[in-house]
Structure 1
Amino acid sequence: MAYNLISSDQQTQYSKMTKNKTYASLVIGVLATVVFGSAAYSQSSDALIDKLVDKGILSVKEANDLREEANQDFNRAYQVKTGMSDWVNSLKWSGDFRGRYDGIYQDDKNFGPTPGKPNTYANQDRTRFRYRARFGATVSMTDNLEIGLRLGSGDLSSAAPSLGGSIFSANTTLNNDGSRKFIFVDAAYAKWTPRDWFTAQFGKMDNMFWITDAIIDYDYQPEGAQERFTLAATDNQKIQFTSGQFVIAENFNASGAGPNNDAYLFINQVDWTGKWTPKFTTRLGLALMNFKNQMEIPASLQTFINQNGTPASGIGAQNFNPVIARAEATYALDSFPMFKGEFPITLGAEYANNPAASSAPFPGKNYSGSANEAYNLGVIFGSVKQKGNWQIAYNYKTIESAVAWNGLVDDDFGFNTKGGTDVRGHHIKAWYRPCDPLTFVMSYFITEQISNVPGTLAHQQRLSP
């Protein structure tokens, strides 16, 4: 005779629990087989668990517990397999590739006389095919620490290899019969975020300042330290204070016969972001730049920079301590033809003034009272955050020669095939994103020198991404 010590209801519940455990074991087993199956692991495991919840096999709590257990198993297995320390939370790979056509077209009437010499201004066009390749890794660790390393392509910008690659870009020119090309350290930094409202970085890193390329090239990778404090006054109002301490030149001369004071750049900025309605946002910023030992910047570095405008040291140098004000407003339309989702329109303006510039005439140039000013006015239509969408931007810029150091300013917007200061003109840029990994970009520049003396001309057009 057999005795059933479990009631029928209990038996049903027991069978269900046993079945759930069986399914849970099955799920964990399936997850284990894909534990090293790349990023598809997370998506496939979540989909499997969600399906079991939909069928009533697992409760929401059981599903969450299972996800947590699977993640822990994955982390343990990954650490064992790779030898990764248990204080490493994640390792993220990143990279991109850009192919580029760069056409620089000069006005054939360009003429810049130097006493006793023929024309010294560019009047010949230049065509280049170029690429930029970058690959990096970011390690996220416990206690809110992060380190990053990014390698990038680039050309040697000087006959002295010790000076490295270009300050302004990682572009490599297709040239020299298929010769092997260089790889440089594009970024190498440590980052600490002990609180949501504070972050600090040290090394060679991405520039955190909200300043346009009329003052600092978007591809400029400063070296030194930078910090940011964020105050979220409300859910829709945020104030940020950003500070940077950057090394410009490390000077050492044991004999004392040359410069022996290091040159540094300090930048401080406060900016305020406000979201007034779900469709309307604004942002305002004010920044100040200061050099220490600016006049100790070596002539070799100025030659390496190879930009138009007033140098930071030597003959004709000015002190560069500009004040930069920037404002931006964005409104999103509900829809727009040939665009998916809300259609943002952004109006922006930036003004810079360098009160430290002297009023002395620049060598070979006419001085004007506005030679220490710059402004950048622009509008942006659309966005390429979503595939299938497009974006168009227009900017008019005036960058006088004594407003900012040419060692920081955009190297694409210029004249005589060089960027820098003492230039004004138009910049039109368009983007189209047909699919997530691919974006087409085209830029068109129409520029001219501002302070050319009578009888000279420096007009340029440029077509590139």
Structure 2
Amino acid sequence: MKNNSRFFLHRLTLLAGLASWPLLAQDATPTPDSPPSIDELLPLPVEEPGEQPAAQAPLAPAAQPRVQLSESFAINLVNRLVERGVLTQADAQDMINLAKADAAAAAQEREALFTAAQTAAEAPPASDDEVRVTYIPEVVKDEMRSQIKTELLREAETKKWLTPQYELPHWVSTFHPHAEFRVRYESITFPGGNSNTGAFPNFNAINTGPAYDETGVLFAPQLNTDQDRQRARLLLRFGAELDLDDNFTLGIRLGTGDTNSPVSGNQSFGYANQTPGGAAQQQGGQFSKYAIWLDRAFLRWEPVESISISVGRFDNPFFSTTAIYSDDLGFDGLVLSAHHEVYEGIEPFLVIGTFPIFNSDLHVASNQPAKFESKDKWLNAAQIGVDWKISKDWNLKLATAYYDFRNVEGELSSPYIPRNIEDPGDTDHTRPTFAQKGNTYRRLRRIIADATNNNGTINQFQYYGLATPFRVHSITGRLDYNGYEPVQVSLLGEYLRNTAFDAAGLEEFAVNNRGGGGAFDGGDTAYYFNLRVGKPLMEKRGDWNAYIGYRHVESDAVIDGFNDQDFGGGGTNMKGYTLGAAIALSQRVQIGLRYFSASQIAGPQFKSDIIQLDLSAKF
């Protein structure tokens, strides 16, 4: 029992001694050069081991002498235990001897550690590659922590340390959804002086409906030139890209639209499509549901970072402006894109593609035993350019392109006599299936005059095709200045010319774009400029941009069915200004205002002013 109590008290004394160290340091802090001695820690007289303590008679509590005080917590504790009769004086002396030996060992160990640290600090580097650091700034510590964290997370992802018990399928991490939503208020006004006497036939309505009888008592479908309109419109697109193995990407997008127009995804609230006779169709109106169209569907392969091949229906792959291609236009076909930095800051690029525009019905004409020859339409195009970072603040992108539209012009049919409005000509399918306005048109049917049509005075059922071929050359450039970051100043310009246009050859059979005296007045040239100031990307609330632009697009410079749908109501044969500004309400929501002032170039007066207020969101 005595040995157990001595062992317990021995450990208790050691703990008490350790606890007393800070108290000693407050009174007389020892320095590494002169560590405290054991005698200073244990001030009471201590007998050497082996000596027998003198026998002492226990004192009555009332007769006990005052305990000898010490600055050591451990000594005082032992003395108080003797005073209380918990320990005998012999046990106490034994405990003090043990504490003395432990304290001496601790002091020697502390002195050895201090000596080693001092020697290491004074020693020179072992070699030129060895660096000793005695102080690390907080910024360096933060950077080290960040790097260690990044490396641990990368290793955790590689080794799947953080993989949950029920892991999601692999394709979920390769699925990248995106969406766009826009609500628009649009005001369309027509200044006084526009012609409303039948000078603006709607060739798209004619060519997509029953043939028009030129000798009839009814006007052909006409464009609105004099009645102001307001409308609210909706645009919604949603889609995704899915990363496949071996650098393949699958993309799809669905979207709204009044019709399947290639240049617009707008759906007018309450709008009901109508036939030329005015009969309502099923799309829209009276809170009816709206149609969703397949807007994009493609497969893209990128064998290396600088080359991509896409097939299907995808965004415009060319560097161009809305003077030739609408921002909403999708391209069907196959395209190869390549770019490579040949010198620091100089990166040439190349785009080559072939795109089917129209494929004749397999059974054309469906109501004839003998079928008609197919007249498929194609666009073959190539563009070469360079992206040049001139300096820190200046960047220039310049390109030239050649767009060869094959078989898009209308062809005159073989001579025949239409028996009724549904009796086709063998070139009816050369008419465009979609158009806006502005291109020059010609008649397609060569109708024989005989007794059945009263020598050509009745039953002249007619369709119309484009009067000229289109082989368009373009030069496109954009100059960016970033010296006012985060504000950018950007100038975009494009020059276009249809080299297949022959004004003299069109004089004979053009049915529109005629000026004073009835002479043909169309043209083959277009140019476009736009100056933009502000943030190129709307990334946070308060980001803004503003722009001003001018364009001059003659009647047959480009195909009117593919270019901007907003300026002047869409199409060609228009010139004028564009003003606009936008501001971000949040990272993904913005509000914008645009104003278009346009007037017709050739033919009777046609002017329009359009204001659009947009609230849009996307992710």
TM class by shorter chain equals 0.7 to 0.9
Q: Tell me what 1:167 maps to.
A: 262
The one-letter code of the counterpart of 1:398 is H
Aligned pairs for 1:46-85 (under 5 A) are 54=145, 61-70=151-160, 73=163, 77-79=167-169
8 Å contact kept, 2:584–2:590: yes
Q: Tell me what 1:42 maps to.
A: none
SS at match of 1:65: helix
Q: Does 1:344 align with 2:488?
A: yes
8 Å contact kept, 1:353–1:372: yes
String of CA shifts for 1:113-151, please: whole Å, max 9, x gaps. 448979976100111101101111110012100001111
SS at match of 1:185: strand
The one-letter code of the counterpart of 1:357 is F
CA distance in 2, matches of 1:319, 1:138: 37
Distance 1:63 1:410, change over 3 A: closer
Q: Does 1:136 align with 2:288?
A: no
CA distance in 1, matches of 2:373, 2:161: 57
CA RMSD of aligned residues (A): 3.1
8 Å contact kept, 2:440–2:522: no
8 Å contact kept, 1:147–1:189: yes
SS at match of 1:66: helix
CA distance in 1, matches of 2:390, 2:306: 22
Q: Tell me what 1:382 maps to.
A: 534
8 Å contact kept, 2:409–2:465: no
Mark the structure with the bigger radius of gyration. 2
Aligned pairs for 1:115-154 (under 5 A) are 122-154=225-257
Q: Tell me what 1:244 maps to.
A: 353
8 Å contact kept, 2:521–2:602: no
| Seq. identity, % | 22
SS at match of 1:168: coil
Of Structure 1 and Structure 2, which has the larger fraction of its residues in strand?
Answer: 1
CA distance in 2, matches of 1:426, 1:395: 6
- Among 309, 321, 327, the alignment partner of 2:439 is 309
CA distance in 2, matches of 1:410, 1:55: 49
CA distance in 1, matches of 2:264, 2:492: 25
8 Å contact kept, 1:324–1:353: yes
Q: Does 1:460 align with 2:563?
A: no
- Among 103, 123, 126, the alignment partner of 2:187 is 103
CA distance in 2, matches of 1:403, 1:298: 24
8 Å contact kept, 1:133–1:153: yes
Q: Does 1:189 align with 2:298?
A: yes
String of CA shifts for 1:368-424, please: whole Å, max 9, x gaps. 88810000022111124332211111110000011111121111112xxx3111110
The one-letter code of the counterpart of 2:310 is Q
SS at match of 1:222: strand
Q: Tell me what 2:398 maps to.
A: 284
Instruction: Give 1:234 deviation, angstroms.
Output: 2.4
Instruction: Give 1:245 deviation, angstroms.
Output: 1.2
Instruction: Give 1:60 deviation, angstroms.
Output: 5.9
Instruction: Give 1:261 deviation, angstroms.
Output: 2.7
Distance 1:172 1:259, change over 3 A: farther
SS at match of 1:396: strand
The one-letter code of the counterpart of 2:578 is H
SS at match of 1:346: strand
Q: Tell me what 1:43 maps to.
A: none
Q: Tell me what 1:17 maps to.
A: none
CA distance in 2, matches of 1:143, 1:256: 49
8 Å contact kept, 2:377–2:408: yes
Q: Tell me what 1:11 maps to.
A: none
The one-letter code of the counterpart of 1:122 is T
Distance 1:75 1:329, change over 3 A: farther
Distance 1:142 1:303, change over 3 A: closer
8 Å contact kept, 1:53–1:60: no
The one-letter code of the counterpart of 1:54 is R
Aligned pairs for 1:292-371 (under 5 A) are 292-295=406-409, 302=432, 304-311=434-441, 314=464, 317-334=467-484, 341-359=485-503, 360-361=506-507, 362-364=510-512, 365-366=514-515, 371=523
The one-letter code of the counterpart of 1:274 is W
String of CA shifts for 1:18-41, please: whole Å, max 9, x gaps. xxxxxxxxxxxxxxxxxxxxxxxx
Q: Tell me what 2:58 maps to.
A: none
- Among 559, 562, 574, the alignment partner of 1:405 is 559
The one-letter code of the counterpart of 1:266 is N
Please list every run of 5 or more consecutive structure 1 residues that lacks an aligned counterpart in the other structure.
1-49, 157-164, 335-340
8 Å contact kept, 1:252–1:261: no
- Among 424, 430, 455, the alignment partner of 2:575 is 424
Q: Does 1:444 align with 2:605?
A: no
SS at match of 2:234: strand
String of CA shifts for 1:6-55, please: whole Å, max 9, x gaps. xxxxxxxxxxxxxxxxxxxxxxxxxxxxxxxxxxxxxxxxxxxx999739
Instruction: Give 1:271 deviation, angstroms.
Output: 1.6
CA distance in 2, matches of 1:345, 1:51: 38
- Among 287, 291, 297, the alignment partner of 1:178 is 287
What is the count of residue pairs matched by the alignment? 390
| TM-score, length-scaled by structure 1 | 0.77
CA distance in 1, matches of 2:436, 2:375: 23
CA distance in 2, matches of 1:463, 1:256: 52
SS at match of 1:295: coil
CA distance in 1, matches of 2:433, 2:307: 38
Distance 1:77 1:260, change over 3 A: same
Q: Tell me what 2:131 maps to.
A: none
The one-letter code of the counterpart of 2:529 is L
Q: Tell me what 1:5 maps to.
A: none
Distance 1:52 1:286, change over 3 A: closer
SS at match of 1:68: helix
CA distance in 2, matches of 1:412, 1:59: 52
Q: Tell me what 1:218 maps to.
A: 327
CA distance in 2, matches of 1:173, 1:283: 37
| TM-score, length-scaled by structure 2 | 0.58
The one-letter code of the counterpart of 1:292 is R
8 Å contact kept, 1:111–1:120: no
Q: Does 1:394 align with 2:478?
A: no
8 Å contact kept, 2:432–2:465: no
CA distance in 1, matches of 2:382, 2:559: 16
